[in-house]
Chain A
Amino acid sequence: MNVLEINDVTKRFGNLVAVRDVSLNVAKGEMCAIIGPNGAGKTTFFNLISGFFPPTSGNIVFDGRDITRLSTHERVTRGMARTFQITEIFPELTVFENVRISAEVAGGYRLRPWIGRSDAAKLHAVVEETLKLVSLEGKADRLVGELAHGDQRAAEIAMALALKPHLLLLDEPTAGMGDQETFQVTQLIRRLHRESNYTIVLIEHDMRVVFHLADRICVLDQGRMLAQGTPQEIATNESVQAAYLGNAA
């Protein structure tokens, strides 16, 4: 069963075609990495999936339903969670508060003027669980804005997880990180995939991460899907090597 089906999607900005006839199917529990040289259209592609703007043509089906015309927040409520290249968190709230807001919205409490004690306790437990999953339980009362980059990313991922998503979209999760933090985040993503069976689509530049984690790799170049396949297939693909020629991996 495909969690995500992207069918011949094209996105035009005036005369610029950022994404051209791209198709992709993501099965449940799969980890799919999207790579490609700079300017290939990866972020635009992600923005199409998460609902920043509608495609010029083509459609997107999520969990069997056509979501092409749905807004961002509607897609989130249907089970799509996303992180950003530049971490988007609530900097002046604590880690716990960040994840709690996420859990409350996911639990349907966003409009409630009141939350009962038992419900609050349940949510509290959910937040604690999620924090344990990303190894941040010790830092729950720290302000997210004061954390190290890697921990901020973990917090952001925790917020996404608290939404109980069917699909995790991770936009360059290791962006701007040193070796240690990259390792930390990579391990986290691996756990989420292998142990918790999340379906994940990620954009990455760091080839070590990509080849280490992904079931399937999709290569975008100049808006087109150049190749799709297992890491081994992609590693030996000549046109992929040609596209990357001159770009350090």
Chain B
Amino acid sequence: MSAEQIRKLVLLAAIWGALLLAPYWMVPLGGYTALATRVLVLGLAAMSVNFLLGFTGVLSFGHAAYFGLGAYGAGLTLKFLVASTPLALVLGMLLGGLCGAILGTLIVRRRGVYFAMVTIAFGQVFYYIAFQWSSLTGGDDGLRGFSRQPIDFGLFKLDILSSADNFYYFVLFCFALVAGAMAFILRSPFGRTMIAIRENERRARFLGIPVERHIWIAFTLSCFFMGFAGALYALVNNFADPRGLHYSQSGDFVMMAVMGGMRSFWGPLLGAAVFVVLQDYLSSITVNWMSFVGLLFVLVVLFFPRGLLGFLQRSKA
């Protein structure tokens, strides 16, 4: 094995080591397990956004909508359909993904800022629906009245409701599945066409890649991932928030990806960790925390556009 491969393996081991042992090293540092769970879920969302933004190079900004749809899908499933956590996750993912697939067909012929504008506008449609259809969604108050169900493995039940640690490991497992799928796709021939489109769209087209179709596929995939992350998020607080659909939430996810490093696979997770911790801390010490978040955006954009992991030479997908 080459030095490069060994380096990557060590890095990977370190990351997974940290993730697996999080409930143990977080507490002495003043953290708590639920925080780690939140970071994982939001990190997954940021990675899903980056799937499109960093790896395909498409300026998609309205992604929170699919996150929110996933959350509502999971919540509604648990509240009205059947008390099954896996099913809630699947249906949440499907809701987000399918809406993304349909809207994607309308959007993919645009590019650049126009694309961003349209994705934002469409995202807002769902925000609006969540607010207005209050009989179903709870309106402004959000969707409540459901909770994550213990998972029945036949031989035993995993109680993820009352045990924060159990839930963390469940979420970590889900994270591993989705992150694994993402990595798998990015390493595949299809993944390479995504990178090609990012590197030089014209050349990609002149190699015979139907660019719009590939962007639609990447868009749809990232919406499925977002939906799944959103479904997990609903389980974190047993609550689905309409604000999770607002474009400002999209901005947060994009910022996490940028802060962590858009060209790296794990960057968005790191960005999410920093963002969540910072936001938690700031909102506890000042009521004007929003302007600090805004300031963070401004500073990162002006001075650290490559993000924390951006100093790495090149990150192969």
Contacts and interface: CB of A to CB of B under 8 A. Distances in A.
Contacts of A59: none
B200 A73 contact: no
B225 to A, nearest CB: 14
A115 B185 CA distance: 11
Interface residues of B, number: 24
Interface stretch (A32-40, A88-96, A212-220, A229-237): A88-96
B270 to A, nearest CB: 21
Given A90-B199, A92-B314, A113-B184, A105 B190 contact: no
Given A105-B208, A163-B208, A93 B189 contact: no
B296 interface: no
Interface residues of A, number: 32
A172 interface: no
A77 B213 CA distance: 15
Contact of B205 (A73, A92, A93): A73
Given A92-B199, A93-B199, A72 B206 contact: yes
Given A101-B193, A113-B190, A73 B184 contact: no
Contacts, number: 80
B110 interface: no
A101 B192 CA distance: 7
Nearest to B199: A90
A104 B199 contact: no
Given A89-B203, A90-B200, A113-B189, 16 more contacts: A50-B206, A73-B205, A77-B208, A81-B206, A92-B199, A93-B195, A97-B192, A101-B193, A101-B207, A105-B207, A105-B208, A106-B208, A111-B189, A111-B217, A113-B184, A159-B203
19 contacts: A73-B206, A73-B208, A76-B206, A76-B207, A76-B208, A82-B206, A84-B202, A88-B200, A90-B195, A104-B193, A105-B208, A106-B207, A110-B190, A110-B193, A110-B209, A113-B189, A113-B191, A115-B188, A159-B207
